[in-house]
Structure 1
Amino acid sequence: MGLERHWTGYTPLHLVLLPTSWLFRALAATRWAFYRSGILRSHALPVPVIIVGNISVGGSGKTPLTLWLAQQLLDAGWHPGIISRGYGGSATQPQEVRKSDTGDQVGDEPLLMTQRGLCPVWIGRDRVAAGNALLAAHPECDVILSDDGLQHYRLRRDFEIAVVDGVRRFGNGQLLPAGPLREPVTRLRCVDATVVNGGSAEAGEFAMRLHGQQFYNLLNPATLARPTDFAGQTLHAVAGIGHPERFFRHLESLGLTITRHPFPDHHPYRAADLDLPAADAILMTEKDAVKCAAFAHERCWVLRVDAQVDTSLTERILDKINGCQAA
């Protein structure tokens, strides 16, 4: 997985990488300062905007948190819409994500969110254009959730949430390429909320856990299975997510003995990746499943996970966006 193995500490390679990392830090700080001062212009949408992002590369749980927030907003009487860059997809212009799309077209995470069926999902490299297109197509939407986009300062935001991997935290604390950070840890002082996925939340942070104990068959989603249904079977697990070990450890916490097959984040799956004849069952995440559906076989099972988050976060968000609406 390339440089990632060097991001937990320091190796001789950092003698080469640190000067580039310092330059990256200076450029990131300058860009942020330009937007904060108004030298570069941010554009507001006509409804409140909630950003769900992170300061590090790789998966930290942004998409499950975005789906949890969408459900919380729906329960509170709001009508959310979700925008995303559509990373990994071929689309370049704003467009709505349909359940019939493929991950190659719109990206795996937007397709996953659409398949949950909670609210409209639009993608676009320009999040301002994507947000305006969503609102034009769905005028009933009265709040926008941006899945990722903490560094997309062109889009003005009313509430920022930074998601932190509770196990990996910030690695060696260095910015790219010497470390995993897109922005320095001090950036978290400016967000409205920090959500810690797994591990231990510190004072002022909101705790989040990913919960899932039920699998569905990828070919026949109505066919469900519990972990005990796989007792005595030879199990292989594939994961092309930001932190595959989190998925593997979750499976083991369910009492399953697995053979691990980690892939890079947003891995473009092919049928050969699932050609594991010794496996009685192949277990995967929902994010992987949207890219494997076209060539899946009856041994493919998907674990659905949902975020469980400190509900005081909902109260803080509702207080903020209700104030935006009143203004």
Structure 2
Amino acid sequence: MPTTSPSAPSALETTLTRAWLRRGPLACALWPVSLLFRGLAGLRAAAFRLGLGNSEKLPVPVVVVGNIFIGGTGKTPLTIWLVQALRAAGFTPGVVSRGFGSKDSAPRPVGPASTPREVGDEPVLIAARTGCPVMVGRSRAAAGRALLAAHPQVDIIVTDDGLQHYALQRDVEVVLFDGRGVGNGWTLPAGPLREPPSRRRDFTVVNAAQLTPELAAAVAASAAAPRCHPVPSNPSDGAPAASSPHPARAPGAGDAGVWQMTLAGDTAERLQNRSEQATLLELAQRARSQGLRVAAAAGIGNPARFFGMLKAAGFDLIELPLPDHHDFLDRPFAQLEADLILMTEKDAVKCAQIEELRNDPRLWVVPVAARIDGALAQQIVEKCRGCSSA
């Protein structure tokens, strides 16, 4: 029985991914090139800081959710969590995104009829889960302007990715890692990082089941510095006060702190009819008692994270790791001998657009939600309230 899909990541990608987790012969051979990459990235960032590059300030606070580790670390669930937290704090948030695979470079709104091929899979998912205005475009600044013009009630913008998109000024930066930490700690192509671990940011979040002191120390920003100065909370304006340190914030991680995020998925929904639901524990028990063959597909940056969650729920899986943003046009399940196929919600938004897959009764979607200490949201809100508008 196959354990991987024909569309699994290439051998080159797999080799590099493994090499990036340690400082072995291949990584060491590429290290001199990584110094050049790191230097160019640093010069580019410095040019924008010194005002040598065109960088636009929007009239509302901008919060960037991004990563320096290449590939997926869980930005979309974090973005959804942050939008919901900002709304609960009294803001009216909107989201801008590049929209991976989007057909247009000009700003384009994400509506109920938008498809992943038109605007990208993650923006479709964010719009569906949050109900807030979402705009995609190659230029985040242009997308932000278009979003504010179309939705003047929006008073804060969250950008899904775009950490290195310095043409848009930001008030708060949230950098997300996962259990892989910083890998071997080197920048591309010798390592998995777009920028060095010491990159300045306001908050560091780690998407991992266990946040060990070693992992927290590896991802902590040694040069963390706030982008704007928060003002003290005034109880009369309803702004939540910043909380004291707590277990989810790694001790000794510096002023920026390191916050733990976990992804929780307790139920599954049949793709053919999303109202038909079952808990993962129920499905796993049913599969064992009936001898069902169960597969799991994940076209995300780190499929192992999804597979691990399902195994923890009791599933014995055929694993199908797919390339990030996989479009499913190659029909990867056609020859798969499985009675039940579990997939991520990000993959489901694309499969739902393909009739053959939409009507496949074997396909079940596993929505996940980010779980983070609420004090992080309070501190982000406090910073946003203290950032002046343009």
Matched with 1:272 is: 331
CA drift of 1:12 comes to 2.9
Does the 8 A contact of 1:285 with 1:303 survive in 2? yes
Q: 1:224 to 1:121 in 2, by over 3 A?
A: same
Aligned residues: 324
Matched with 1:251 is: 310
1:91 equivalent in alignment to 2:101: no
Match among 374, 379, 386 for residue 311 of structure 1: 374
Taking the aligned partners of 1:164 and 1:239, their CA distance within structure 2 comes to 19
Match among 346, 354, 362 for residue 299 of structure 1: 362
Matched with 2:193 is: 181
Does the 8 A contact of 2:61 with 2:389 survive in 1? no
1:195 equivalent in alignment to 2:186: no
Taking the aligned partners of 2:119 and 2:303, their CA distance within structure 1 comes to 22
Matches within 5 A, 1:1-327: 1=9, 2=13, 3-165=16-178, 167-187=179-199, 190-198=200-208, 199-200=210-211, 201=216, 202-203=250-251, 204-227=257-280, 228-230=282-284, 231=286, 232=288, 233-270=292-329, 272-293=331-352, 294=354, 295-296=356-357, 297-324=360-387
Structure 1 vs Structure 2: percent identity of aligned residues?
Answer: 48
CA drift of 1:76 comes to 1.3
TM-score normalised over the length of structure 2: 0.80
CA drift of 1:276 comes to 4.4
Q: Aligned with 2:166: secondary structure?
A: coil
Taking the aligned partners of 1:178 and 1:326, their CA distance within structure 2 comes to 40
CA drift of 1:170 comes to 0.7
CA drift of 1:37 comes to 1.3
Could you list the structure 1 runs, at least 4 aligned residues long, displaced by more than 3 angstroms after superposition: none
Q: Aligned with 2:58: secondary structure?
A: coil
Taking the aligned partners of 1:115 and 1:277, their CA distance within structure 2 comes to 30
Taking the aligned partners of 1:229 and 1:191, their CA distance within structure 2 comes to 41
CA drift of 1:322 comes to 1.4
- Name structure 1 gaps, 5 residues minimum: none
Q: Aligned with 1:270: secondary structure?
A: coil
Taking the aligned partners of 1:318 and 1:264, their CA distance within structure 2 comes to 35
Residues 225-277 of structure 1, C-alpha deviations (whole Å, 9 max, x = no match): 11213422211000110000000000011111111010121122125212245
Aligned partner letter, 1:169? G
Taking the aligned partners of 2:51 and 2:336, their CA distance within structure 1 comes to 58
TM-score normalised over the length of structure 1: 0.95
Does the 8 A contact of 2:27 with 2:191 survive in 1? no
Q: Aligned with 1:9: secondary structure?
A: coil
Does the 8 A contact of 2:60 with 2:389 survive in 1? no
Residues 251-308 of structure 1, C-alpha deviations (whole Å, 9 max, x = no match): 0111111110101211221252122452111100011111111231111100000001
Taking the aligned partners of 1:154 and 1:186, their CA distance within structure 2 comes to 21
Aligned partner letter, 2:301? G
Aligned partner letter, 1:298? P
Does the 8 A contact of 1:6 with 1:179 survive in 2? yes
Does the 8 A contact of 1:78 with 1:143 survive in 2? yes
Does the 8 A contact of 1:51 with 1:157 survive in 2? yes
Taking the aligned partners of 2:329 and 2:112, their CA distance within structure 1 comes to 20
Taking the aligned partners of 1:82 and 1:211, their CA distance within structure 2 comes to 23
Taking the aligned partners of 1:277 and 1:317, their CA distance within structure 2 comes to 45
Q: 1:326 to 1:49 in 2, by over 3 A?
A: closer
Does the 8 A contact of 1:42 with 1:153 survive in 2? yes
Taking the aligned partners of 1:299 and 1:72, their CA distance within structure 2 comes to 35
CA drift of 1:28 comes to 0.3
Q: Aligned with 1:141: secondary structure?
A: coil
Aligned partner letter, 1:206? W
Aligned partner letter, 1:135? L
Aligned partner letter, 1:196? V
